[in-house]
C-alpha cells in the first residue's frame, strides 16, 4: 500500500512534468500564432503583432503564462483555442467520442481477428499452417497504415463503387451509417495491430501449453477443446490483455494519419492541427488529456506485472 | 510508429536466459532450424547488402532527372521512371540506405538511452526507478507521431533530426523491455548475496543482468527497426521525414499517392520494398523470440 | 478574362493536360467557352437540393477580416459580400453598392448603397455597417493581415444611410475593385464585439452559416432574403474537409459528393469516370520564388537572370503542375489584358549556354551554393524547387532544398522580411493569389515604398518606380496597361523573383450539378448560381 501511495505521488509529479514539457516544447516550435495569422501574403505591423500577443496572453513571461494556465486547468478551465475561439474543453469533448469509438472498435476487431488466429497458429500441427499464418499475418504489419488506408479507399470506390457518407454521424443517431463510416478506418488499423496479437497469443499459448498443469488436465481426461479453451487460453490471456491494453492506450492517443485520410475529426488530428497552427491551448490541453490516459494505463500495466510474476516486488 | 504499433511490440514475457558459450551455440543452431527465422535473416541480409552496395548496384543517379516522367518499366529504366523522370530502380536501391540508416541509428539511440535507463532503474530501484520510469512515462504520454513531428520542427528538418526524433520516441519502449528482466535478476538470492559481499554494481550488471536483458532487447530491436521504417514513411507522408530529392521508400510511397491510377508502378514498388524489409525484420525477430523465449531459467 | 472549359463526362486525358500546358497561353480555351455556353443552355435553373462538396483544406476561421489563408476566404465567400463583386469575366460589377463615383483626382470614393439589403439576422444594411466593417480592418487591434491594402483610406464618412464616402490621401486603384479585397466583407455594426466571428457569421451573402465544425465541415443554408433574386438556387451546401485527394476522388466516384477541387493528377486519375465533369481554366495562382536580393551572388541581376534562363518553364509545368498551367509573368496569365503574353515571355525555353555565359560575365563561372526553402504544405512548390535544383546543376550551382513545416516556413519568411533579408535564407518558394488590380502584384513588392518589398527592403528598381506611380494615378485603361506591361518586362529582366506559371483551376462536378462556372479569382463565387438538375 505504501507502494501505491508512492506511485500516486509520482503520477502527479509525472503529470506536472508533462505539463512543463509540453508547455515548453510547443513554445520552442519556430513561429507562433502571429506568424500563422499573417501567412506569406499578408502582413502585420508591429502594433498589430503586439495586439495579437496581448490578446492571447503571449506578451507575458513564460513562467507567468504557465502559472496562469495551471491555475485555469485546476479550475477546469482549459482555455480558448487561438484559431477558432472555441473553449478547448468543448472542442475536446466533441472530438473525444470519435477517438474513443475508433479505439474501441479497433481493439474489438483486433481481438476477434487476432486471438483465434493466434490460437490456431499455436496448436496446429502443420508447419505449413504455422508458417503461413505467421507470414500472412506479418504482411499486415509490414505496410504503413496510411498506405493500407489509401488502398482500401481506392479499392472500395473502384471495385465496389462504394464509400460511406462523409459527414460523421454519431452511433447514437444512426448506428448503421456510423458503422459504415468506421469500417474502413478500423480495418486499416486493425490489420496491422491484429498481427501483434496473433503473435502474442501464439507465443503465450505455446508457453502455457508446455506447462505441467496442462499435462495434468490432459491426464485427467478432459477433452482437447476443454483443455485448450478453458485452461490454456484462460491462462494465456493475461499477456494478451496487456498488449491489448497498450494498443488501446495508443489508439486513444489518436491515430493522426488515419483520421486525416478518412476525414474523421478525432483527437489526434486535432492535436496535429494544433501543432501546425501553433494553437497552444489546444495542444497543451490535448496532450494533458493523453498524459492522464497513459499514466493510468501504465499504472494498470505495472500492477499487472506484479500480478504476473510474483518474483517482481516493488518496495 | 505508423500509428499505434510502437509500444504493443514490447516483449511482455521477460524470459531469462543465462548466457554461456555452449548455450549461445545451441541458440544459433536452433535458429537455423526455424524456417521463419531463416527467411527473415535472409531477407534482412539482402536488404543490408543492397543498401551497402547501392553505388555499385544502382544503374543511375537516384536524384538526377534524366528521362521522361512516368515511364513504365522498360529496357533502359528497368523499373520505369518517377514523376520527375528519375530512375525508379536506382531510387529503390538507394532507398534501402535511407531506411536502414534511419532504422538502425534510431534504434541504436533508443537502445542506448532507453535500455540504459531501464537497466539502471531496475538495478537501483527505489527513487531512481521511480524517477526514471516516470520520465519515460512522460515521453510516452505524447502520441509518438506528434512528438516526432514536434521534435523535428524544433530541431529543423534533416535526416539526422528525424532519426533523433524517432530514437527519442522509442526510448521508453526499450527502457521498459530492459527493466523487467533486470528487476527479476536483481531480486535473485545470489545477486543479493553478491551485493551483500560488496561486489561492485557494474560487475554485477555486466555479468548477470546484461545477458538476461540481451535477448528481449535484441528481439525488441529487430521489431523496432521494422517499425522505424514505417515511422519514417509516416513522417514522409506528412512531408516531415526525408528531404527531397533524397530517395526514401517512405517519401516515394507518399508522393506516389497522387499517381496511383496513372502509374501504378511507382505506387506499388516502394510499398513492396517497405513490406519486404519490414517483413524480414519481423520474421527475424519472431524467430529469435521463438528460440530465446520462453526458456526456463537455468541455475 | 476568365475562361471556362466544360468537359462533360470525359474528364481530362493526360495528353489534354500536357497539350494544354505546353500550348502557350494565347489560344487558350476559346473553343471551351463556346462549349460551355452550349452546355449551359440545356435546362432552366430550379430551386432545391443540397450540394455536398469536399474542401481540400480546412478554412480554419470564418472571420472575414482577420484571415490570411485563402481557404478561409473560400469558405466565408458565401456568407459575406462587399461593395462590389466579380462576374464570370472578372469584371467588377455592383454588389452592395449600386453605383459609385471617383472624384477629387482619385482621392474620393462615394458609394451609393443598395437599399433594403438584409443581413442574415433580418437587420437592414446601412452605411454605418460599411463604415464599421472597414474601420474594423483598419484598427490595429484587429490585427488584420490585409490592413495595408486598405490603409490608403484615411477617412470614412456616412453621408446618409445609403451613402458612404471614403477619402484617401493618394490615388489607389485597388479600391475601385473592392470585390477583390481580401478583407472587405461587410458585417453588421458591432457584430465582432458580440460574436466569435471565427466560427459564427452574419452577412448579406447568398448563404447563411448553419454551423462550422473546425477541421470537419462547414454547413450553409439558403438565404431566402438574398437581394439578388432568384438566387441562390440551392437549399444548402455542406463542405466536408478532406485533405486526402484519393478520398475526394473516391467520394466523387461513389456519388457521395458533387463537387471537389482537384489537382491535375487527380483529374487525370478520374479519367473515364461516368457522370463527372471536370472544368479547368487558368486562375490567379502564380507560382514563384522570392529571392533575397541582398545575399551574395543573388545581388547581381545577371546571376538571377542566368539561373532563370537555365530552367525550362515547360519542364517545370509538366513536373510540378502535371501540365495543367501556362507560363506567366508577374501578373497571372489570363487576368484581363494586363498580363504579358506568354508567347513573348523570355526564359520559357531553357538556354543553358546563354545562362553559362551570363553567369561567367557576372564572375560566377564556377558556381556557388544556394538554399531554397519550401513547405510540404504545398507539394507543388516543392516540385518546382526540385526541377530548379536539377537544372541549376548545369551551372555548377549546388542547390540545397529545405522543406520546412508550414509554421516554421512562414515564421522564417516573416523574419527574413523584418530583418531586411539579413536573417533567413536565399530563396523561398511561394505563390501569389488573386489581387484586384495589377498594381497589387507589383507595387507592394517592387515600389521602393512598397509594404512587401521583401529582401530588397526599399531597394529601388528605379526604372519601375515611376511607372507604378503613374499607373496608380491614371484612369485611362490603355495607358495603365502600357505602363504595367513595361513594368513587368523590366521586372522579368531584373528577376527579383522567378515567376513560373499560372496554374489551372480544376474543379469537378458530378452530372446533376448545373450552372457552376469557375472564377479567375479561384474563389467559388458562382455556387450561388448553381442548381441541381
Contacting A residues, span 22-61, partner chain C, CB-CB under 8 Å: 29-32, 34-45, 47-49, 51-52, 55
Confidence of residue C420 (pLDDT cuts 50, 70, 90): confident
Which position has the higher pLDDT, B122 or C499? Answer: C499
- Which residues have CB under 8 Å from C364's CB, separation 6+? C297, C303
Beta-carbon separation of B262 and C245 below 8 A: no
CA distance, residue B134 to nearest chain A CA (Å):
6
Q: What is the mean pLDDT of residues C290-318?
A: 91
Among C61, C228, C190, C176, which Cα is nearest to C473's? C176
Measure the CA–CA gap between A50 and C141, rounded to whole angstroms: 9
CA angle A265, A271, A273 (to 5 degrees): 80
Is residue A20 predicted with pLDDT exceeding 70?
yes
**pLDDT value at position C286?**
94
Lowest-pLDDT choice from A123-137, C169-183, C491-505 = A123-137
Least confident of B92-96, B218-222, C107-111, C285-289: B218-222
- Across the interface, do A142 and B134 touch by the CB < 8 Å criterion? no
- CA dist A142 and B85 (Å) reads 28
Helix (H, G, I), strand (E, B) or coil at C398: strand
pLDDT recorded at residue A182: 93
User: Mind listing the pLDDT tens digit for each residue in A193-249?
Assistant: 887 788 778 777 877 777 777 777 777 777 777 666 766 777 777 777 777 777 877
Is residue C405 very low, low, confident or very high in pLDDT (cuts 50, 70, 90)? Answer: confident
Interface test with A, best of C195, C241, C414 (most A CBs within 10 A): C414
Tell me, rounded to whole angstroms, the distance of Cα C129 from its chain centroid. 27
Residues 6+ apart with CB under 8 A from B272: none
What pLDDT, on the 0 to 100 scale, is given for residue B26? 67
Cβ distance A146 to B233 less than 8 Å, yes or no, reads yes
pLDDT above 60: residue C252: yes
The answer to whether residue C447 scores a pLDDT higher than 90 is: no
The per-residue pLDDT of chain C, averaged, comes to 86
The cell numbers describing C104, all together, are: 477629387
Tell me the chain C residues in contact with residue A280 when contact means C-beta distances shorter than 8 Å: none
Segment 10-69 of chain B within 8 Å of chain C by CB: 63-65, 69
Higher pLDDT, residue B6 or C262: C262
Give me C450's grid cell. 512598397
Cα nearest neighbour of A161 on chain C: C254
- Chains touching chain A through at least 3 C-beta pairs below 8 angstroms are B, C
Q: Do C376 and B259 touch (CB under 8 A)?
A: no
Report CB contact under 8 Å: B258, C402: no
B258 CB neighbours in chain C (<8 A) are 245, 263, 265-266, 269
Average pLDDT, rounded, for chain B: 81
pLDDT at C11: 35
Chain A contact for B244 (CB, 8 A cutoff):
no
Whether the ipTM is more than 0.90: the answer is no
| Per-residue pLDDT tens over the stretch B181-201 | 888 888 888 777 877 787 777
- Nearest Cα residue in chain A from B138: A18
When pLDDT is averaged across residues C32-45 and rounded to a whole number, the result is 53
C-alpha cell at A213: 498443469
**Residue B275 distance to chain A (closest CA, Å):** 5
* C237 pLDDT higher than 90: yes
Contact C407 A35 (CB under 8 A): yes
pLDDT of residue C10: 33
**What is the distance of C-alpha A70 from the center of its chain?**
25
Across C92-169, the runs of DSSP E, i.e. the strands, are 92-94, 97-103, 108-113, 153-160, 163-168
Nearest residue on chain C to A90, alpha-carbon basis = C213
Look at A253 and B144 and tell me if their CB atoms are within 8 Å: yes
Which long-range CB contacts under 8 A does C110-116 form with residues at least 24 apart? C110/C159, C110/C163, C110/C164, C110/C165, C110/C166, C111/C83, C111/C163, C111/C164, C111/C165, C111/C166, C112/C162, C112/C163, C113/C83, C113/C161, C113/C162, C113/C163, C113/C164, C114/C162, C114/C227, C115/C162, C116/C227
pLDDT at C2 over 70: no
Domains defined along chain B, listed by start: 31-291 (1.10.3720.10)
Q: Which residues in chain B have Cβ-Cβ distances shorter than 8 Å to A193?
A: 4-5, 8
Residues 351-410 of C with CB under 8 A from B: 375-377, 379, 382-383, 386-387, 389-390, 401-405, 407-408
Which pLDDT value is given to residue C34?
A: 42
What's the whole-number mean pLDDT along residues B54-74?
A: 91
SS3 B194: helix
Considering CB atoms only, which of C143, C238, C250 is closest to A153? C250
DSSP codes, chain A: -HHHHHHHHHHHHHHHHHHHHHHHHHHHSSS-HHHHHHTTT----HHHHHHHHHHTTTTS-HHHHHHHHHHHHHTT---B-TTT--BHHHHHHHHHHHHHHHHHHHHHHHHHHHHHHHHHHHH---HHHHHHHHHHHHHHHHS-HHHHHHHHHHHHHHHS-----SS---TTT-HHHHHHHHHHHHHHHHHHHHHHHHHHHHHHHHHHHTSHHHHHHHHTT--HHHIIIIIIIHHHHHHHHHHHHHHHHHHHT--HHHHHHHT---HHHHHHHHHHTT-HHHHHHHHHHHHHHHHHHHHHHHHHHHHH-TT----
| The predicted structure's pLDDT at residue B33 | 63
Share of chain B above pLDDT 90, in %: 26
Q: If pLDDT is split at 50, 70 and 90, which confidence band does B296 have?
A: very low
Q: Using one digit for the tens of pLDDT, what is the confidence trace for B123-157? A: 888 888 888 888 888 887 778 888 888 888 888 87
What whole-number distance in Å separates Cα of residue C416 and Cα of residue C455? 7
Q: How far apart are CA C232 and CA C488, in angstroms?
A: 40
Cα angle vertex A261, ends A259, A265, to 5°?
Answer: 35
Distance in angstroms (rounded) separating the CA atoms of residues A247 and A103: 9
Instruction: Tell me the chain B residues in contact with residue C244 when contact means C-beta distances shorter than 8 Å.
Output: 257
Residue-wise pLDDT tens digits, C262-298: 999 999 998 888 889 999 998 999 999 998 888 889 9
Confidence bin at C456 (pLDDT 50/70/90): low
Q: Which of A253, A88, A258, A95 is nearest to A170 (CA)?
A: A95
Tell me if A42 and C182 make a contact (CB, 8 A cut-off). yes
Confidence class of residue A305 from pLDDT cuts 50, 70 and 90?
A: low
Is B35 at the interface with chain A, CB within 8 A? Answer: yes
Across the range B100-129, mean pLDDT stands at 90
**Cα–Cα distance between C81 and C68 in angstroms, integer?**
17
Q: Is the distance from CB of C58 to CB of A273 less than 8 angstroms? A: yes
pLDDT of A13 > 70? The answer is yes
CB contact under 8 A, B4 and A193: yes
Question: Which residues on A lie below 8 Å from B279 (Cβ)?
Answer: 135, 138-139, 141-142
pLDDT of res. B205: 75
**With 90 as the cut, is the pLDDT of residue C474 above it?**
no
Chain B residue whose CA is closest to A188? B3
Residue C33 φ/ψ region, left for φ over 0, alpha for ψ in the -120 to 50 degree band, beta for the rest: alpha
Pull the grid cell for residue C352.
543553358
3-state secondary structure of B191: helix
Helix (H), strand (E) at residue A49? helix A46-55
Per-residue model confidence as pLDDT tens digits over A155-200: 888 888 888 888 888 888 889 999 999 999 999 998 878 877 887 7
Question: Is the pLDDT score of A49 beyond 70?
Answer: yes
Confidence at A136, pLDDT banded by 50, 70, 90? low
Supply the pLDDT for residue C177.
76
Picking from A17-26, A296-305, C495-504, which range would have the lowest pLDDT averaged per residue?
A296-305
**What is the structure's pLDDT at C372?**
94
**Contact check, Cβ <8 Å, A315/B9:** no
d(CA C244, nearest CA chain B) in Å: 9
Amino acid at each position: 500500500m505504501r507502494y501505491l501511495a508512492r506511485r500516486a505521488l509520482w503520477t502527479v509529479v509525472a503529470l506536472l512534468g508533462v505539463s512543463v514539457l509540453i508547455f515548453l516544447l510547443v513554445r520552442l516550435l519556430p513561429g507562433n500564432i502571429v506568424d500563422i495569422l499573417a501567412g506569406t501574403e499578408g502582413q502585420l505591423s508591429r502594433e498589430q503583432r503586439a495586439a495579437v500577443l496581448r490578446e492571447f496572453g503571449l506578451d507575458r513571461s513564460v513562467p507567468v503564462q504557465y502559472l496562469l494556465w495551471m491555475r485555469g486547468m485546476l479550475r477546469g478551465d482549459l482555455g480558448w483555442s487561438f484559431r477558432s475561439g472555441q473553449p478547448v474543453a468543448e472542442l475536446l469533448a466533441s472530438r473525444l467520442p470519435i477517438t474513443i469509438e475508433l479505439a474501441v472498435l479497433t481493439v474489438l476487431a483486433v481481438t476477434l481477428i487476432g486471438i483465434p488466429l493466434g490460437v490456431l497458429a499455436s496448436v496446429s500441427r502443420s508447419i505449413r499452417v504455422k508458417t503461413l499464418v505467421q507470414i500472412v499475418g506479418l504482411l499486415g504489419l509490414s505496410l504503413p497504415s496510411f498506405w493500407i488506408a489509401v488502398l482500401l479507399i481506392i479499392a472500395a470506390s473502384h471495385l465496389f463503387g462504394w464509400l460511406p457518407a462523409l459527414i460523421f454521424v454519431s452511433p447514437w443517431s444512426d448506428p448503421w451509417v456510423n458503422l459504415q463510416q468506421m469500417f474502413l478506418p478500423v480495418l486499416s488499423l486493425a490489420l496491422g495491430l491484429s498481427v501483434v496479437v496473433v503473435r502474442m497469443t501464439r507465443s503465450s499459448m505455446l508457453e502455457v501449453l508446455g506447462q505441467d498443469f496442462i499435462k495434468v488436465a490432459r491426464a485427467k481426461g478432459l477433452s482437447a477443446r476443454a483443455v485448450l479453451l478453458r485452461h490454456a487460453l484462460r491462462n494465456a490471456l493475461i499477456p494478451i490483455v496487456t498488449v491489448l491494453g497498450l494498443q488501446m492506450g495508443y489508439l486513444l492517443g489518436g491515430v493522426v494519419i488515419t483520421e486525416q485520410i478518412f476525414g474523421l475529426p478525432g483527437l489526434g488530428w486535432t492535436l496535429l492541427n494544433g501543432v501546425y497552427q501553433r494553437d497552444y491551448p489546444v495542444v497543451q490541453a490535448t496532450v494533458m488529456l493523453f498524459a492522464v490516459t497513459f499514466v493510468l494505463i501504465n499504472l494498470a500495466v505495472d500492477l499487472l506485472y506484479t500480478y504476473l510474476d510474483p518474483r517482481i516486488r516493488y518496495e | 510508429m505508423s500509428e499505434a504499433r510502437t509500444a504493443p511490440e514490447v516483449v511482455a514475457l521477460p524470459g531469462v536466459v543465462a548466457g554461456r558459450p555452449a548455450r549461445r551455440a545451441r541458440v544459433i543452431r536452433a535458429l537455423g532450424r526455424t524456417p521463419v527465422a531463416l527467411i527473415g535473416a535472409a531477407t534482412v541480409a539482402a536488404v543490408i547488402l543492397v543498401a551497402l552496395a547501392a553505388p555499385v548496384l544502382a544503374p543511375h543517379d537516384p536524384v538526377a532527372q534524366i528521362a521522361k516522367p512516368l515511364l513504365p518499366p522498360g529496357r533502359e529504366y528497368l523499373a520505369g521512371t518517377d514523376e520527375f523522370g528519375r530512375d525508379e530502380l536506382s531510387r529503390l536501391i538507394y532507398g534501402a540506405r535511407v531506411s536502414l540508416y534511419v532504422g538502425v541509428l534510431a534504434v541504436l539511440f533508443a537502445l542506448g538511452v532507453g535500455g540504459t535507463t531501464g537497466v539502471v532503474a531496475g538495478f537501483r530501484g527505489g527513487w531512481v526507478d521511480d524517477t526514471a520510469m516516470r520520465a519515460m512515462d512522460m515521453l510516452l504520454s505524447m502520441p509518438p507521431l506528434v512528438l516526432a513531428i514536434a521534435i523535428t520542427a524544433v530541431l529543423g528538418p534533416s535526416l539526422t533530426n528525424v532519426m533523433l526524433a524517432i530514437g527519442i520516441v522509442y526510448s521508453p519502449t526499450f527502457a521498459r523491455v530492459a527493466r523487467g528482466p533486470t528487476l527479476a535478476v536483481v531480486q535473485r538470492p545470489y545477486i543479493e548475496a553478491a551485493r551483500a559481499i560488496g561486489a561492485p554494481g557494474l560487475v554485477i550488471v555486466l555479468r548477470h543482468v546484461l545477458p538476461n536483458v540481451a535477448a528481449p532487447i535484441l528481439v525488441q530491436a529487430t521489431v523496432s527497426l521494422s517499425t522505424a521504417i514505417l515511422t519514417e514513411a509516416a513522417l514522409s507522408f506528412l512531408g516531415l521525414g526525408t528531404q527531397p530529392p533524397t530517395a526514401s521508400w517512405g517519401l516515394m510511397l507518399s508522393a506516389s499517392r497522387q499517381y496511383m491510377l496513372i502509374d501504378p508502378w511507382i505506387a506499388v514498388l516502394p510499398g513492396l520494398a517497405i513490406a519486404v524489409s519490414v517483413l524480414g525484420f519481423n520474421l527475424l525477430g519472431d524467430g529469435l523470440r521463438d528460440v530465446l523465449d520462453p526458456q526456463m531459467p537455468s541455475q | 478574362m476568365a475562361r471556362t472549359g466544360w468537359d462533360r463526362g470525359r474528364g481530362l486525358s493526360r495528353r489534354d493536360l500536357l497539350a494544354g500546358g505546353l500550348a502557350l497561353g494565347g489560344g487558350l480555351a476559346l473553343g471551351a467557352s463556346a462549349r460551355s455556353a452550349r452546355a449551359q443552355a440545356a435546362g432552366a435553373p430550379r430551386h432545391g437540393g443540397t450540394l455536398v462538396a469536399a474542401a481540400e483544406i480546412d478554412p480554419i476561421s470564418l472571420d472575414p477580416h482577420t484571415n490570411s489563408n485563402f481557404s478561409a476566404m473560400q469558405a466565408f465567400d458565401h456568407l459575406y459580400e462587399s461593395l462590389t463583386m466579380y462576374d464570370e469575366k472578372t469584371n467588377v460589377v455592383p454588389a452592395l453598392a449600386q453605383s459609385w463615383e471617383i472624384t477629387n483626382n482619385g482621392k474620393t470614393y462615394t458609394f451609393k448603397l443598395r437599399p433594403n439589403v438584409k443581413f442574415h439576422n433580418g437587420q437592414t444594411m446601412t452605411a454605418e455597417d460599411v463604415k464599421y466593417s472597414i474601420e474594423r480592418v483598419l484598427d490595429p487591434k484587429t490585427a488584420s493581415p490585409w490592413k495595408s491594402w486598405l490603409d490608403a483610406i484615411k477617412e470614412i464618412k456616412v453621408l446618409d444611410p445609403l451613402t458612404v464616402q471614403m477619402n484617401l490621401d493618394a490615388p489607389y486603384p485597388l479600391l475601385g475593385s473592392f470585390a477583390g479585397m481580401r478583407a472587405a466583407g461587410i458585417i453588421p455594426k458591432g457584430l465582432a464585439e458580440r460574436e466569435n466571428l471565427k466560427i459564427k457569421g452574419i452577412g448579406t451573402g447568398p448563404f447563411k452559416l448553419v454551423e462550422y465544425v473546425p477541421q470537419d465541415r462547414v454547413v450553409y443554408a439558403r438565404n431566402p432574403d438574398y437581394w439578388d433574386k432568384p438566387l441562390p438556387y440551392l437549399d444548402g451546401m455542406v463542405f466536408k474537409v478532406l485533405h486526402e485527394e484519393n478520398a475526394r476522388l473516391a467520394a466523387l466516384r461513389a456519388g457521395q459528393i458533387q463537387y471537389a477541387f482537384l489537382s491535375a493528377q487527380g483529374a487525370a486519375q478520374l479519367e473515364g469516370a461516368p457522370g463527372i465533369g471536370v472544368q479547368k481554366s487558368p486562375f490567379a495562382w502564380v507560382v514563384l520564388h522570392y529571392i533575397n536580393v541582398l545575399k551574395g551572388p543573388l545581388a547581381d541581376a545577371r546571376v538571377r537572370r542566368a539561373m532563370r534562363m537555365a530552367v525550362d518553364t515547360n519542364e517545370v509545368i509538366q513536373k510540378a503542375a502535371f501540365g495543367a498551367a501556362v507560363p506567366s509573368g508577374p501578373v497571372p496569365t489570363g487576368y484581363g489584358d494586363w498580363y504579358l503574353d506568354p508567347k513573348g515571355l523570355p526564359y520559357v525555353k531553357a538556354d543553358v549556354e546563354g545562362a553559362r555565359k551570363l553567369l561567367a560575365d557576372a564572375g560566377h563561372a564556377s558556381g556557388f551554393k544556394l538554399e531554397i526553402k519550401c513547405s510540404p504544405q504545398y507539394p507543388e512548390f516543392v516540385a518546382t524547387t526540385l526541377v530548379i535544383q536539377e537544372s541549376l546543376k548545369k551551372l555548377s550551382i549546388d542547390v540545397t532544398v529545405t522543406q520546412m513545416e508550414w509554421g516554421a516556413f512562414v515564421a522564417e519568411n516573416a523574419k527574413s522580411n523584418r530583418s531586411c533579408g539579413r536573417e533567413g535564407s536565399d530563396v523561398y518558394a511561394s505563390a501569389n493569389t488573386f489581387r484586384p488590380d495589377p498594381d497589387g502584384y507589383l507595387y507592394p513588392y517592387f515600389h521602393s515604398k512598397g509594404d512587401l518589398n521583401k529582401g530588397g527592403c526599399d531597394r529601388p528598381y528605379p526604372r519601375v518606380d515611376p511607372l507604378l506611380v503613374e499607373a496608380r494615378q491614371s484612369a485611362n485603361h490603355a495607358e495603365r496597361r502600357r505602363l504595367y506591361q513595361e513594368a513587368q518586362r523590366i521586372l522579368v529582366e531584373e528577376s527579383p523573383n522567378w515567376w513560373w506559371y499560372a496554374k489551372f483551376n480544376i474543379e469537378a462536378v458530378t452530372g446533376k450539378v448545373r450552372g457552376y462556372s469557375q472564377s479567375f479569382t479561384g474563389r467559388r463565387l458562382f455556387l450561388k448560381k448553381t442548381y441541381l438538375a
